[in-house]
Amino acid sequence: MTLEFDIMASVILSVEQKQVLFIKLRSRINREGILQITVQEDRSQHRNKELAIKKFYSLLEEAFRVQKRRIKTKVSRSSKQKRLEGKKRRSEVKRLRRKGFE
Count of domains observed in the chain: 1
Taking residues 25-31, what's their average pLDDT? 89
Q: What DSSP designation does 43 have?
A: S
Give the other-Cβ count within 10 Å of 85's Cβ: 10
* 33-55 pLDDT per residue, tens: 899 999 999 899 999 999 999 99
Domain annotation covers residue 40: yes
Query: How far is Cα 26 from Cα 24, in angstroms, rounded to an integer?
Result: 6
CATH number of the domain where residue 56 is located: 3.30.160.20
At 77-89, the pLDDT tens digits run 999 999 999 999 9
Say what the pTM is. Answer: 0.64
For residue 19, tell me if it sits in a domain: yes
Domain region containing 29: 2-64
Cβ atoms of 38 and 67 within 8 Å: the answer is no
Task: Give the 3-state secondary structure of residue 40.
Answer: coil
28 within some domain: yes
Give a yes or no: residue 7 inside a domain.
yes
84 part of a folded domain: no
